[in-house]
Amino acid sequence: MIDEKILIAVFAGAIVIGAMVLYFSATGQPNKLENTQLNFEQFTSNENPDDICAVPAGTDPEQWKEHLGHHPDKYAQCLK
């Protein structure tokens, strides 16, 4: 009787863990910034032509820094 309860608890736990793994693997990482042509155009359209290192208005500084890091050839002076 006790063995059956333990077996059912282990089985139910495995189902719950499996469901959680499936759910989190399907949802992915929604907040991850992807480096796409659209993002590049969005960032560069707001770029200050007098100071390309300056964070454009309305842009998150961390996202801007990440963007600069993706283009070290263009923004080498900003990455020092």
Q: Please report, for the chain, the start and end positions of each structural domain, with discontinuous segments joined by +.
A: 1-30, 37-78
Q: How many CB atoms lie within 10 A of CB 55?
A: 18
Q: Find the mean pLDDT for residues 29-41.
A: 73
Q: How far is CA 65 from CA 13, 42, 58, 60, in A?
A: 43, 14, 14, 9
- Coil, strand or helix at 73: coil
Give the orientation angle of helix 61-70 with respect to helix 37-45, to 10 degrees: 120
| pTM score over 0.85 | no
Cα separation of 39 and 8, whole Å? 50
Average pLDDT of every residue of the chain: 84
Q: Find the mean pLDDT for residues 23-37.
A: 74
The more confident residue out of 58 and 12 is 12
Q: Residue 16: which pLDDT band, with cuts at 50, 70 and 90?
A: very high
